[in-house]
Amino acid sequence: MAVNPVLETIANRRSIRRYTGRPVSRQDLETLVRAGMAAPSSRDTRHWYFIVIDDESILNGLVEGLPYAKMILTAKHAIVVASDMDQAHGGTDVDYWVQDCSAAVQNILLAAQSLGLGACWTAAHPRPERVAFVKQALGMPDKVIPLAVIAVGCPTGEDKPRDKFDPARLFWNKWQ
Ligand SMILES: Cc1cc2nc3c(=O)[nH]c(=O)nc-3n(C[C@H](O)[C@H](O)[C@H](O)COP(=O)(O)O)c2cc1C
């Protein structure tokens, strides 16, 4: 599929769960957040917040309440993508905030791949117990909901890209 650098990045992205533990610079972490903020959002509301965590004790506390995010311990960094319900179009009554923040998460995953970093999307929303735990661990206000906690770090190279194209799932013009 890869015919240009963007498509190559998309094709080679994987969820990375094995990390070397080497630190990522704050400059690179900010680049990832800039990629997140470049995502589309409903009515261009840009209601998101990004909490970048590189403090080991905070990461350790966070992982205690996220059973499927243990890779964060070796990744050494996490980016929490959250939405301000007072600013999101429709608030919690419609799901646009989920799509908006998901687009931001995907931008971050691709930006990480493009920088030679590894990342893995781990879910907070829609699991109420995880949302509550992340909010409490990071001191987030009531009106803000965390969608995802993204592990970010330096990949060992063991998690290899796969070709996931499935022609049986492609229809032209109508359901076939
Ligand atoms: C909404 C969503 C939630 C996810 N939550 C987790 C998670 O909690 N823990 C985890 O290890 N991976 C999580 N993943 C990553 C998926 O397991 C991964 O994308 C899938 O296995 C496909 O692998 P790939 O990303 O390498 O293509 C999540 C992905 C999405 C889109």
DSSP state of 172: S
Q: Calculate how far, in angstroms, residue 118's C-alpha sits from the geometric centre of ligand 1.
A: 13
CATH code, 12-169: 3.40.109.10
Q: Please name the residue whose Cα sits nearest to atom 25 of ligand 1.
A: 15
What HEC string does 128-155 produce? HHHHHHHHHHHCCCCCEEEEEEEEEECE
Q: How far is ligand 1, taken at its centre, from the CA of residue 167, in Å?
A: 22
Cα of 150 from ligand 1 centre, angstroms: 10
Question: Which percentage of the chain shows pLDDT scores above 70?
Answer: 99
- Taking the C-alpha atoms of residue 55 and residue 127, their distance in angstroms, rounded to an integer, is 25
Residue spans per domain, the chain:
12-169
List pocket residues of ligand 1, CB cut-off 6 Å. 14-15, 68-69, 120-123
**Mean pLDDT rounded to a whole number for the chain:** 97
| Nearest-CA residue for atom 3 of ligand 1 | 123
Summarised one tens digit per residue, pLDDT across range 61-116 is: 999 999 999 999 999 999 999 999 999 999 888 899 999 999 999 999 999 999 99
Give the pLDDT band of residue 2 (cuts 50, 70, 90).
Answer: low
Banded model confidence at residue 141, pLDDT cuts 50, 70, 90: very high
